[in-house]
Amino acid sequence: MESCKLIHFKNLKQYRDETNAIIDTNYFSIALKNMKDKFAERFEQFKTNKSTLAFIVNPLNTNTNEINIEPFGIDAGSLQMQLLDLKTKDLWSGKFTKLKSKLEELEVQKCMHIAQQNWTALKEIPRVEALIFGAWNSLPECYSEVKKLAYGVLTIFGSTYSCEQAFSCMNIIKSKVRSQLTNENIESCLKLKTTSYKPDLIKLSKGMQSQCSH
C-alpha cells in the first residue's frame, strides 16, 4: 500500500486504472495498521496460550508445563500421568497421528478447491472440528483428565448458534396446545429436530412387517 502499487488490492487498483482516481494510500495504510494492531491485541491471549491450543490436535508432543489448565479445573498430576500413558499406547496415540494426517489432507483439498473456485465441493469437505471430536471421543474414560482438557479447549471455539437454535425449536415444539409434553418427550423431539443424522428409511422399512388393513 505504501508503495502505491496496490499489488494486493486488485479491485482498488482496477478502480484507479479505470477512473484515473487519486488514491489516498496514506489513509489506507493507517487503517490497515490500526486493524493489525487491533487484531494483535484481540488475539494476544491465543499467542500466550499457543501450547494449550495446540494440545487438541497434537497432544503427543505437548509439554504439560506449558499448558494453562487453571481455567478447566484439571488435576495436574493426573493429567501428566494419563498423558504419559497415552503416549505409550500405540492404539490410542496412533489416532492423533492419523488425525494430523487427515487434517493435512483437508487443508490440501481446501486450497485446491479455493484455487479452482469450486465452492460447492468446498462445502462438502468434512468439518475439522468433527474429526477432532471424533478422535477424542474414541478415547476410553481412563484418560478422563486428558479428555476434559481437550473438551475445555474445544469449547472455546464454540458458538451460541446451536444453543439458540435448540431454544427456538423448543418454543415451537412446546406450544400452548402441547403444554403437557413430558421432559423425556421434549428431549426426544429436540434431538430429532436438531440432529444432522439421517436414518436410512428404506433399510428400516424393509425390516418392518407390513400390516394390511382389515
Would you give per-residue pLDDT tens digits along the chain (214 residues)? 777 788 888 888 888 888 988 888 888 888 888 888 887 777 676 666 777 888 888 888 888 788 888 888 888 899 999 999 998 999 898 999 999 899 999 999 989 988 888 888 888 888 888 888 888 999 999 999 999 988 888 877 655 556 677 778 888 888 878 878 888 888 888 888 777 667 777 887 777 766 665 5
What cell numbers appear for 78 in the block?
Answer: 493426573
| Consecutive H or E run containing 112 | helix 90-116
Rounded to whole angstroms, the Cα distance separating 49 from 153 reads 11
Rounded to whole angstroms, the Cα distance separating 54 from 154 reads 11
Q: How many residues does the chain have?
A: 214
The DSSP output letter for 126 is P
Q: Please tell me whether the overall predicted TM-score, pTM, comes out greater than 0.75 for this model.
A: no
112-121 in b/e form (b: 16+ CB < 10 A) is ebeeeeeeee
